[in-house]
Amino acid sequence: MRREPLHGITDAAARREGCRSVEDFMDQWQLLHGEWDPFLEVTVVRFEVVR
């Protein structure tokens, strides 16, 4: 778990979130949260599947 600004998201991270690109992630963020603030600090949580 770590904190980073929204503008730090990469295409790979956007794909892990279910989007095709950073631009698609931005569109989805705006639909859910109303505003894209690139300097907003968000918490990034990564999970790993354990079998």
Mean pLDDT of 30-47: 94
The single-letter DSSP state of residue 6 is G
Mean pLDDT of 23-43: 96
What residue segments make up the domains of the chain, in order of their start? 2-44
pLDDT score for 2: 93
* Residue among 42, 6, 4 nearest 23 (CA): 6
pLDDT-derived band of residue 12, with 50, 70 and 90 as boundaries?
very high
The pTM of this model reads 0.83
Mean pLDDT of 7-35: 96
Mean pLDDT of 19-46: 95
Q: Could you tell me the two tokens for 1? A: 């778990």
CA distance 6 to 44: 10
pLDDT score for 26: 97
pLDDT score for 27: 97
